[in-house]
Amino acid sequence: MRTRKYDADDKDLSSLLPLNHADFHILLSLTDADRHGYAIMQHVRELTEGSLKLGPGTLYTSIKRLLDATLIEESDERPDTDMDDQRRRYYRLTGFGRRVATAEAERFARLVQVVKARKLVKV
């Protein structure tokens, strides 16, 4: 992924694609809820049925890259403070991040169609 910053009006999503696996799965994890780092790691493991386990180094390197590209942002909203550690940082998907994640998902969907057409998987 390139390191230049993008704004919400940037239409050139193709320069960000393809996303690496960690970045895509982090974006996917944030499509339905704001999450802190450890919750993202757990959710990615759950989404991939354990086949992708993000370590802290990979996770936080990816988070920094996604923040710099304005695909995610820190969230000010927090759960009940009695049940939360104030040191945790929560992240959410930006509108631009959702568009990039959608473009990547569409790219994968086209690839799956090719795989099916070539009979590499049973339908």
C-alpha dihedral (6, 8, 14, 16), degrees to nearest 10? 40
Query: Which H or E run includes 116?
Result: helix 95-117
Could you tell me if residue 81 is inside a domain? yes
CATH number, domain at 30?
A: 1.10.10.10
3-state secondary structure (DSSP) of residue 74: strand
Could you tell me if residue 43 is inside a domain? yes
d(CA 25, CA 22): 5
pTM attached to this predicted model: 0.85
Query: Which H or E run includes 15?
Result: none
Could you tell me if residue 5 is inside a domain? no
Instruction: Provide the residue range defining the domain that includes 26.
Output: 13-117
Could you tell me if residue 7 is inside a domain? no
Q: How do residues 69-82 score in pLDDT, each as one tens digit?
A: 999 999 988 766 66
Could you tell me if residue 36 is inside a domain? yes
Domains: count for the chain: 1
Confidence label for 3 from pLDDT (cuts 50, 70 and 90): very low
**Which residue is associated with the tokens 């802290």?**
56
SS (H, E, C) 28-62: HHCCCCCEEHHHHHHHHHHHCCCCCCCCHHHHHHH
Residue 12 above 80 pLDDT?
Answer: no
Could you tell me if residue 4 is inside a domain? no
Q: In this predicted structure, which of 4-8, 30-34, 35-39, 111-115 has the lowest mean pLDDT?
A: 4-8
**Residue 53 backbone phi and psi in degrees, to 5:** -120, 110
Which residues, other chains included, contact 72 with Cβ-Cβ below 8 Å and sequence gap of 6+? 26, 27, 30, 63, 66, 91, 92, 93, 94, 97
Alpha-carbon dihedral sign for residues 46, 72, 55, 103? positive
Residue 26 above 60 pLDDT?
Answer: yes
Q: How do residues 46-97 score in pLDDT, each as one tens digit?
A: 999 999 999 999 999 999 999 999 999 999 887 666 667 778 899 999 999 9
Could you tell me if residue 8 is inside a domain? no
